[in-house]
């Protein structure tokens, strides 16, 4: 009887250890799969960013929208957007059976999409979605002179260039050449182009295959953009590379000096390489500012460090990425934060 009890105890211990090892193996397998998934997402995003920005037209308009939000748990989320022009080999994705549009210059827009909320199967803007349900999108418009395509935007319409959000979302081409995009007045950008391109984010509907070509990556809860500039010091050999905008510009772990603090609703936009007259410091009706304008310098407290021909030294992209099963955690919550810097040669 004693031998039987001992044998049963040993068998129970062996089964217990086997179950423990099995559970550890399963958990390791699940974690490795989630790590691979999240890294694959990050690589897909950064490869596309690097490809697009390698052909960046530095003398063409660049527009960036910064939008910050805190959730009830105190986490800082960003919903930034950027639109720029780039050289490369581009091809559209026809959704109506027509031939694809090809070209070597495109107007490119990155943003978190308005996409399906799985809680009610309705299209929602990213700040209304749970962070793990947010989607990063890329919208492109290939610049072409193909006369068989609709003339859009219409350069003869000097009021609004026929820009509207639905046409901008549907087409993947511009028949307005880059030379004309460079001469559009900043007031037209602010009053018509910005609302069509930035207020109406790219739409990605997981039930509509016609929107899939705009899908960059699912599970991107936060997408922030910063641009770099040299902050001159008394010693010219000791200039500091700064990133704008920042929650903690002087690095003292106090967000009271955040660049967002002076802007309504903690969001605003900046222009680079936009033609036209400057806005005045008193022009507070607009949330968009040319970077060499006194208004942006006044509100940010940076001062007159920017020449009219100023252009960033680099762009920094910070992303909070989630795996599909919610396994990867960082800072006590799901998801992991990644940073990718694109350096711009001059």
At 259-300, the pLDDT tens digits run: 887 777 788 888 888 877 655 544 545 688 777 666 666 666
On whether the CB atoms of residues 160 and 192 are closer than 8 A, the answer is yes
- By CB atoms closer than 10 A (0-12, 13-18, 19+), residue 66 is buried
Tell me the β-bridge partners of 138.
110
Rounded distance between C-alpha atoms, residue 155 and residue 243, angstroms: 36
Largest Cα span, the chain: 100
- pTM for this structure? 0.87
pLDDT given for residue 221 in this prediction? 93
Beta strands in 49-97 (DSSP E): 62-70, 76-78, 81-91
Beta strands in the chain (DSSP E): 62-70, 76-78, 81-91, 102-112, 114-117, 122-124, 135-143, 173-174, 203-204, 215-218, 220-231, 240-244, 267-272, 288-290, 314-321, 329-330, 333-334, 336-343
* Torsion of Cα atoms, 270 then 177 then 168 then 62, to 10°: -20
- By CB atoms closer than 10 A (0-12, 13-18, 19+), residue 76 is middle
Comparing CA positions, the residue from 344, 330, 297, 340 lying closest to residue 131 is 330
The token duo for 341 is 């810097």
Non-local (6+) Cβ contacts of 54 within 8 A are 88
On whether the CB atoms of residues 61 and 272 are closer than 8 A, the answer is yes
pLDDT digits (tens, 9 = 90+) for 178-202: 999 998 888 888 888 888 899 999 9
Rounded distance between C-alpha atoms, residue 73 and residue 315, angstroms: 29
Q: Which residues of the chain fall short of a pLDDT of 70?
A: 19, 22-27, 29, 70-74, 158-162, 231-239, 277-286, 292-308, 346
């Amino acid at each position: 009887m004693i031998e039987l009890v001992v044998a049963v105890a040993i068998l129970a211990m062996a089964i217990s250890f086997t179950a423990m090892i099995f559970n550890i193996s399963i958990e390791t397998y699940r974690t490795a799969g989630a790590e691979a998934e999240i890294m694959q997402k990050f690589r897909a995003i950064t490869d596309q960013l690097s490809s697009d920005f390698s052909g960046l037209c530095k003398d063409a308009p660049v527009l960036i929208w910064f939008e910050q939000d805190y959730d009830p748990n105190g986490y800082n989320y960003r919903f930034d957007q950027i639109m720029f022009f780039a050289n490369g080999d581009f091809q559209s994705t026809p959704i109506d059976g027509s031939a694809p549009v090809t070209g070597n210059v495109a107007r490119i827009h990155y943003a978190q999409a308005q996409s399906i909320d799985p809680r009610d199967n309705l299209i929602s803007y990213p700040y209304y979605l749970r962070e793990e349900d947010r989607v990063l999108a890329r919208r492109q418009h290939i610049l072409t002179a193909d006369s068989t395509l609709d003339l859009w935007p219409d350069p003869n319409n000097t009021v609004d260039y026929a820009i509207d959000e639905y046409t901008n979302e549907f087409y993947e081409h511009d028949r307005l050449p880059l030379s004309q995009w460079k001469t559009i007045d900043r007031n037209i950008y602010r009053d018509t182009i910005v609302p069509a391109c930035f207020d109406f984010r790219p739409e990605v509907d997981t039930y509509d295959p016609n929107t899939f070509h705009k899908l960059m990556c699912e599970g991107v809860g936060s997408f922030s953009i910063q641009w770099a500039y040299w902050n001159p010091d008394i010693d010219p050999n000791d200039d500091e590379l700064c990133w704008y905008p920042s929650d903690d510009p002087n690095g003292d772990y106090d967000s009271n000096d955040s660049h967002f603090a002076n802007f309504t609703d903690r969001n605003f936009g900046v222009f680079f390489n936009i033609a036209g007259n400057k806005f005045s410091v008193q022009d507070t009706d607009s949330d968009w500012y040319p970077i060499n304008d006194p208004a942006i310098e006044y509100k940010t407290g940076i001062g007159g460090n920017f020449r009219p021909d100023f252009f960033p030294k680099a762009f920094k992209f910070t992303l909070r990425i989630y795996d599909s099963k919610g396994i990867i955690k960082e800072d006590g919550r799901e998801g992991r934060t990644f940073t990718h810097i694109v350096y711009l040669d001059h």
